[in-house]
A and B are shown apart, each in its own frame.
Chain A
């Protein structure tokens, strides 16, 4: 089975621009979660989507948004980019069972640099 794929792998943007990142989950997985990884804050949960609905949300400003399509692929969008948004954005997919047996599998990430 193919793993989680994320595109693009690298992005360079300038302050004030917006960016869209894409994630394709493992086949059969219905949940997609997004994380931001920075040296200062570590791994922080952004949001989770299941059946095209946001099911969980982390503590991030409204500039961060996402969506999920009917084929479970997900996109996240960051508007009005700030320097502090420079990070590795990781996507993870799971079967979405609301139980302790659910396991998240991660993609390689998108490295976003904001200049």
Chain B
């Protein structure tokens, strides 16, 4: 199984809502990533979890809160988002954080109204 799954595929939320994005992999990978991708821009790294510990936070606003309950799961909790947070959110995993290729999920298309 070389698949990274993400749910939901699409999410529309208001600025006062709280929602969560989920990501799952069963490849035994020990590094997991959240990226944000706006139209016509490259994926932009948000967070890296390495061996279930947060190792990189790219100065992401606190309205985004990551969580790694176990080595297979990665969540992104969303609260009080702004319309400019509307984007495609991609999850990825890799065998190890050092130089292995990343396997990406299909993404969650988030719209904040």
Q: Do A and B bind each other?
A: no
Q: Which residues of A contact B (CB under 8 A)?
A: none
Q: Which residues of B contact A (CB under 8 A)?
A: none
